[in-house]
Structure 1
């Protein structure tokens, strides 16, 4: 079910607005760009979602019984890459157009039911005339782990969603082409990829290119994805956007994930697993060299927060820790879920990384989204281009500072205390490891720099833990009149920051 739980999965249009005549990838991208520009000057038309009820009414189990035939994979006869296609149905009500560029010519891949096997409860579909259908999306395969097997490493399916995995990773969080008005009172707009062009790679190439045409009520766009699978599967993206109308909030390079409960959760969870999440924090590298670790939460009400900057070095949703004992789940294997980083390749100017946390009571719905919001709004008739690299990772990225390895909180008193404090008093501990902390003698005067937007901070203490590698910052917080406290903490030595900035919001009204 994890592959099928995205937020706007059924929004597709079949066919392009103008013919594509390109013979080279560069020419093709320019022509897709012209399509996007022309489309922005036309009135938006809602996608046609009509399809046979046998497809639209099927459930998840029936949909899974439609299986792509291995011998029908595109490019399966040679080269390192191959492509498999998704059948429409279930949540995918209207297909997208899929084309390939090979031998300097563009060719549309028409729907062919012979590419699929209809097993068990899906067998009656074989009697339907499905000749007018297109495909719902596609997945890419490459010998990622073993030389004689092409692993699935990327999926483009649903609205503008796509997911990536690197070597020895399992699917978790998603990326999107664009986010518009996420968490806005008037409701979110979901742009969608209506057409794709897949460029056939050379025989021994280790990367490939995909182009996409994006459409929505407010924005159209031409996208180029240069994809390289590996230990860190990477996509270099160029997005050329055209505004049909004023955009309230433009979200660039969105990442979407799930957080149900983790080490900072105070609410009781009747669950044997200590953590259930695809990502545990938002990490941001600012233009000033600061690294901020924002702890994720599953709030009782929608929570919106921002990290301001000018041309940041990068941001991402990160899964910490990465060992099985932290999750204890043999089915979901959250320890194998990838982190994903976004690195701008040009100057993005002033803006903010915005984080949206939505309440959830299950682990099947994404409730975390992060994206870049430019300070200058996109107005009708304007165009803008964004270039960035996004990649998956498991091991920590090349961060120069010590990292947060644990965040805990609990009541500031203890059982049996003769004069216990109010239950609202919270005791926080934050553990750091790595960077300049490595090999640091416990006698060194490591100090804590801590700020909070509300409440009173008490009992600040820094100490090295018995393992000789980890340093702990602990403090108490007495909340103020039910106000949320936005806390920021670093460890310093002689005025030098040794650690990334720990950032968390504590809302006493949700205790």
Structure 2
């Protein structure tokens, strides 16, 4: 039975409840999946049904992670080098997904859910799970069942352990109305098809159906491990999106991370560790070639920053500070957290890279989101196609012609030994890169600093840091109203040509 012949079956009920056998040994193509997603967008949304919500909700975090997929039940859709294990449903991801294996002849077979595929303690509440459940996601292991390197779990989230084997930030299939006064929508991947790698260098190919109240989508993922060019993993994404309803804010290629505090604003937390964050900045390579660095903040209220652009060359949430001594965390190793760089394939047109920052008082919740917002409004019946690579790297790709920001610090304004001026802060920015080598105070280096909602105070200084290859830019600033001071700064040579990336930030005078 062709996949297109069972579309009516899929659309008449949610994927969590239709008969899995309907797709057993069914021919499968990406075109069929696109047709399914497009047709589904014209029908009312049918949310998944949890057969035992009370049982799942009372299962604790520790109880859930004691349930382990048996090694002998591992799936091998792309050979022995990419074994797949499946996740059990839990409190934070109760929605079930259907898992299918696709062979090299484009035939698929369903993977039925069964408690016997899992090891669990004798007293685990999971033994009482009724029929009707499915898996919650999957992960790909290294050969011989060594640690996993990528996982898809919960809504449309997925992430890798990056080049240093440490999970951190996540990616999502799509973001809907993030950071707005209305409730955010979290579409979910309701079915996955796993199969042999289609492109050279890939470890596995994955196709996914996205479903949500306002949108459906057909996705193709090419998963590559240990790519030498990116110095990490690569996830190649092709997404075909179909609007079920109007959406005010459509976020493409979203990344989600955590930022509590760093050396920039260490006074906001009383934890013993010097810094706590999965990412410390947003990097953007614009369509016209400008490199922008925006250090992250933990704001007093939800903050939205938009960077208007056309055909961006890349953007990402980056963990630039990779020095253990700056974190002193030998448990979760923040200095090893991966960065994620979005590299668009083809022209994305006009739009904006948008950064959402949400207040947080600890490290347990993600509070940072970055994505691309197309200029074209997302209206019912519209279709969008985006293709991009996610490079899970140590850091963002650097420009050899420009110095990069390596530190951002702020504190009380004024001059040591003199009375501290009121309502004035100091900003200190350190740059590093080959372009600065051999330059000194007589090289004519200029500091370009501009502000909105505030005033930059003289003197503005730029000078080499003794004993290093870095340059330091310092200045004092003050607010002129209650809004954050938007500041833009970079280094230029004596010909007024930029020799550093552009540092931008929204700062408040709140140091005490």
TM over 0.5: yes
| Number of the residue aligned with 1:117 | 119
Residue 168 of structure 1, aligned match among 156, 164, 173? 164
Deviation at 1:168, TM superposition (A): 2.2
| Number of the residue aligned with 1:285 | 285
Unaligned runs of at least 5 residues, structure 1: 1-11
Whole-angstrom CA distance in 1 between matches of 2:25 and 2:432:
52
Q: Does 1:66 align with 2:62?
A: no
Whole-angstrom CA distance in 2 between matches of 1:77 and 1:106:
13
Whole-angstrom CA distance in 2 between matches of 1:229 and 1:328:
29
Q: Is the 8 A contact 2:201 2:224 kept in 1?
A: no
Q: Does 1:250 align with 2:250?
A: yes
Residue 154 of structure 1, aligned match among 150, 155, 166? 150
Q: Is the 8 A contact 1:50 1:94 kept in 2?
A: no
| Number of the residue aligned with 1:341 | 341
Instruction: Write out aligned runs for 1:88-167 (5 A).
Output: 88-104=89-105, 105-119=107-121, 121-122=123-124, 124-126=125-127, 128=128, 130-143=130-143, 150-167=146-163
Residues 25-48 of structure 1 show CA distances to partners (whole Å, capped at 9, x for unaligned) of xx5211111110110010112321
Q: Does 1:311 align with 2:311?
A: yes
Residues 376-431 of structure 1 show CA distances to partners (whole Å, capped at 9, x for unaligned) of 112111211111111111145242321101111111135653x4311x11111100
| Number of the residue aligned with 2:498 | 497
TM-score, scaled to structure 2: 0.90
Q: Is the 8 A contact 1:17 1:35 kept in 2?
A: no
Whole-angstrom CA distance in 2 between matches of 1:390 and 1:427:
36
Unaligned runs of at least 5 residues, structure 2: 1-13
| Number of the residue aligned with 2:205 | 209
Deviation at 1:218, TM superposition (A): 1.0
Q: Is the 8 A contact 1:81 1:140 kept in 2?
A: yes
| Number of the residue aligned with 2:399 | 399
Whole-angstrom CA distance in 1 between matches of 2:61 and 2:511:
35
| Number of the residue aligned with 2:446 | 447
Structure 1, 77-86 or 182-191: larger mean CA deviation: 77-86
Whole-angstrom CA distance in 1 between matches of 2:121 and 2:78:
25
Residues 223-256 of structure 1 show CA distances to partners (whole Å, capped at 9, x for unaligned) of 0001101141101111001111111111000000
Residues 450-477 of structure 1 show CA distances to partners (whole Å, capped at 9, x for unaligned) of 1100222112011000124100110010
| Number of the residue aligned with 2:274 | 274
| Number of the residue aligned with 1:295 | 295
| Number of the residue aligned with 2:38 | 37
Whole-angstrom CA distance in 2 between matches of 1:14 and 1:462:
60
Deviation at 1:138, TM superposition (A): 0.3
- The structure-2 alpha-carbon separation of the partners of 1:166 and 1:268, relative to structure 1 and needing over 3 Å to count, comes to closer
Whole-angstrom CA distance in 2 between matches of 1:462 and 1:310:
32
Structure 1, 111-120 or 394-403: larger mean CA deviation: 394-403
Instruction: Write out aligned runs for 1:171-210 (5 A).
Output: 171-201=167-197, 206-210=202-206
TM-score, scaled to structure 1: 0.91
Whole-angstrom CA distance in 1 between matches of 2:41 and 2:366:
30
Residue 223 of structure 1, aligned match among 219, 224, 228? 219
Whole-angstrom CA distance in 2 between matches of 1:82 and 1:404:
40
Question: How many residues are aligned here?
Answer: 489
| Number of the residue aligned with 2:465 | 465
Whole-angstrom CA distance in 2 between matches of 1:17 and 1:217:
22
- The structure-2 alpha-carbon separation of the partners of 1:497 and 1:245, relative to structure 1 and needing over 3 Å to count, comes to same
Instruction: Write out aligned runs for 1:375-414 (5 A).
Output: 375-400=375-400, 401-413=402-414
| Number of the residue aligned with 1:50 | 51
Aligned partner of residue 125 in structure 1, secondary structure:
helix
Whole-angstrom CA distance in 2 between matches of 1:16 and 1:294:
46
Whole-angstrom CA distance in 1 between matches of 2:204 and 2:117:
23
Q: Does 1:361 align with 2:361?
A: yes
- The structure-2 alpha-carbon separation of the partners of 1:125 and 1:181, relative to structure 1 and needing over 3 Å to count, comes to closer
Whole-angstrom CA distance in 2 between matches of 1:21 and 1:28:
14
Whole-angstrom CA distance in 2 between matches of 1:317 and 1:188:
21
- The structure-2 alpha-carbon separation of the partners of 1:414 and 1:490, relative to structure 1 and needing over 3 Å to count, comes to closer
Q: Is the 8 A contact 2:460 2:473 kept in 1?
A: yes
Whole-angstrom CA distance in 2 between matches of 1:481 and 1:503:
19
Displaced runs of 4+ in structure 1, greater than 6 A? 21-24
Whole-angstrom CA distance in 2 between matches of 1:308 and 1:76:
42
